[in-house]
Homo-oligomer: A and B are copies of this chain.
């Protein structure tokens, strides 16, 4: 508790903010939902390694440590979010869905949605951003780390739930996460039927391949599917099989 009160005192520093600090504090308030206690943390969070020019004890002062911390906190909060949202799904599904949510591209998109990208662009002042494809997502994780250190776990969790996770298309992600193949296998075991995944053909050249897979149940053809890898073709065939078998997915 005393730590929190100390943090609140830090907010009094805001009377000494210069113009750019005032602008950053306002932007943080807009994104995070509350004024920062310790603005330094947020200044660090937007400091990408490529614009970092200070060092201390041989360590470049950049947002990479905050990114490491934010990644772990984000992972924990998303893990719990999915744990609660899907009480009857196994840990394989939860793990897979989580890794699809906290991947770099998804985080990049969210950083743009919440306006973090604008702040980063300002920080880069005309330098070429395109060389750093993941900079938005990386900075979003660093922001999570800053919020965690500044405001503690509960505040940070609320921030992640209400202002980050809300932007995920969880249902869209799940459609591609469901392991249709294991659904088909589970079904076959329950029904004591023999299921076979048979590769019919591989076409294409060394750069683009197409696999064609067929599923038989007790020797009878049930469904087929295609894809750029064997796994994807099996998944596609299994999805068709699930539909034919009217399995809940």
Contact = CB atoms under 8 A, between A and B. Distances in A.
A125 interface: no
A83 B69 contact: yes
Contacts of A153: 153-154, 157
A56 interface: yes
Interface SS majority for chain A: helix
A64 B76 contact: no
How many identical subunits does the complex contain? 2
B75 A72 contact: yes
Interface residues of A, number: 32
Interface in A144-198: 148, 153-154, 157, 186
B79 A69 contact: yes
A90 interface: yes
A236 interface: no
Given A153-B153, A153-B154, A91 B72 contact: no
Given A57-B88, A58-B186, 20 more contacts: A56-B88, A58-B88, A58-B248, A59-B90, A64-B90, A65-B90, A65-B91, A68-B83, A69-B80, A69-B83, A71-B79, A72-B75, A72-B79, A72-B80, A72-B98, A73-B76, A73-B79, A75-B75, A75-B76, A76-B76
22 contacts: A56-B88, A58-B88, A58-B248, A59-B90, A64-B91, A65-B83, A65-B90, A67-B91, A68-B83, A68-B94, A68-B95, A69-B83, A71-B79, A72-B75, A72-B80, A73-B76, A73-B79, A73-B80, A75-B75, A76-B76, A80-B148, A153-B153
Interface of A: 56-60, 64-65, 67-69, 71-73, 75-76, 78-80, 83, 88-91, 94-95, 98, 148, 153-154, 157, 186, 248
